[in-house]
Amino acid sequence: MGLSEFALIDRFFRDCGARRTDVSLGIGDDAAVLEPPPGKQIVAAIDTLVEGVHFPLHSPPASVGHRALAVNLSDLAAMGAEPAWALLALTLREVNESWLAEFSRGLDTLAREHHVALVGGDTTSGPLTVSIQVLGFVEPSRALKRSGANAGDLVFVTGSPGDSAGGLAVELGSLHAATQPARTYLRERFLFPTARVALGRRLLDFASACIDVSDGLLGDAGKLAHASRCRVELEYSKLPISAALLDAYGEQRARELSLSGGEDFELCFTVPPSRIVDMERALPAERWGYSRVGVIKQGTDAVVVDNGTVMDFSHSGYDHFSTVR
Q: How far is the CB of 52 from ligand ADP (least distance, A)?
A: 20
Give me the least distance between CB of 85 and ligand ADP, in Å please: 11
Taking the least distance from each CB to ligand ADP, the nearer of 13 and 318 is 13
Crossing angle (nearest 10°) for helices 180-191 and 163-171: 100
Q: Which of 62, 64, 118, 168 binds ligand ADP (CB under 6 A)?
A: 118
Residues in 10-49 at the binding interface with ligand ADP, rule: CB under 6 A = 13, 27-30
- CB-wise, 28 or 37, nearer to ligand ADP? 28
Positions in 286-315 near ligand ADP (CB under 6 A): none
Contact 255, 218 (CB under 8 A): no
Each residue 25-44 as x (binds Mg ion by CB under 5 A) or -, in order, gives -----x--------------
At closest approach, how far in Å is the CB of 122 from ligand ADP?
Answer: 5
**Cβ 29 to Mg ion, closest distance in Å?**
8
Nearest of 73, 66, 68 to residue 114 by alpha carbon: 73
End-to-end CA distance of the chain: 63
Question: d(Cα 111, Cα 84) in Å, to the nearest integer?
Answer: 9
Q: How many chain residues touch Mg ion (CB under 5 A)?
A: 1
Q: Do residues 162 and 258 touch, judged by C-beta distance below 8 A?
A: yes
Task: Yes or no: say if 155 and 122 are a contact pair by the CB < 8 Å rule.
Answer: no
Please state the closest distance from residue 87 (CB atom) to Mg ion, in A: 14
C-alpha distances in Å from residue 11, one per residue of 99, 100, 102, 325:
13, 9, 12, 61
Q: Which does 94 bind (CB under 5 to 8 A by kind): ligand ADP, Mg ion, none?
A: none
Q: Name the residue nearer to ligand ADP (CB basis): 131 or 164.
A: 131
**Distance in angstroms (rounded) separating the CA atoms of residues 164 and 213:** 11
Residue 136 binding target from Mg ion, ligand ADP, none, CB below 5 to 8 Å by type: none
Residue 88 makes contact with ligand ADP by CB under 6 A = yes
Q: What is the DSSP string of 65-76?
A: HHHHHHHHHHHH
100: number of Cβ within 10 Å: 19
231-235 vs 154-158, strand pairing mode = unpaired
Choosing among ligand ADP, Mg ion, none, which partner's interface includes residue 121 (Cβ < 5 to 8 Å by kind)?
ligand ADP
Helix-, strand-, coil-residue percentages of the chain, each rounded to 5 = 35, 25, 35
Put residue 6 in one of left, alpha, beta given phi > 0 → left and psi -120 to 50 → alpha. alpha
Count CB atoms within 10 A of the CB of residue 37.
Answer: 10
Of 93 and 229, CB closest to ligand ADP:
93
How big is the site for ligand ADP, counted in residues (CB under 6 A)?
13
Binding window for ligand ADP (CB under 6 A); candidates: 117-125, 178-186, 219-227, 245-253 = 117-125
Applying CB under 6 A, the residues found at the interface with ligand ADP are 9, 13, 27-30, 88, 90, 118, 120-123
Applying CB under 5 A, the residues found at the interface with Mg ion are 30
